[in-house]
């Protein structure tokens, strides 16, 4: 395990490359969901308001 984490002395390079990849991909993947929730909530609110007019 220790040996695996050390990556033959390249731990800093290998792990940081994978960590940055994970962070960028997760952020990219989450963004549309956040936007969708915001948009749908705003639309539902507006329709409700229109109905109560």
Partner 1 sequence: MWSFLHRLSSPPTFYRWSGVITPIFAVIAAALLLVGTVWGLAFTPTDYQQGDSFRIIYVHVPAAMLSLSVYMAMAFSAAIFLIWRIKLADVFAASFAPVGAAFTLLALVTGSIWGRPTWGTWWEWDARLTSELILLFLYLGVMALRSSLPERNQAARAAALLAIVGVVNVPIIHFSVEWWNSLHQGSTVSKLGRPAIDPSMATPLYLMIFGFMFFWLANAFSRARVEIVDREQNKRWVREALGDKAEMQRRAGEK
Residues near partner 1 (CB under 8 A) are 4, 7-10, 13-14, 16-18, 20-21, 24-25, 27-29, 31-33, 35-36, 39-40, 43-44, 47, 51
Residue 12 and residue 22: Cα distance in Å, rounded?
15
Q: Report the nearest approach of partner 1 to the CB of residue 50 (Å).
A: 8
Residue nearer to partner 1 on the CB measure, 2 or 9: 9
Rounded CA-CA distance 23/30 in Å is: 11
Residue 2 C-beta: closest distance to partner 1, Å = 14
Q: Are 5 and 11 in contact (CB under 8 A)?
A: yes
């Amino acid at each position: 395990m220790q040996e695996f984490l050390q990556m033959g002395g390249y731990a800093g390079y290998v792990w940081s490359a994978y960590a940055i990849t994970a962070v960028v991909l997760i952020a990219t993947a989450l963004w549309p969901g956040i936007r969708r929730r915001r948009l749908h909530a705003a639309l539902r609110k507006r329709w409700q308001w229109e109905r109560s007019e």
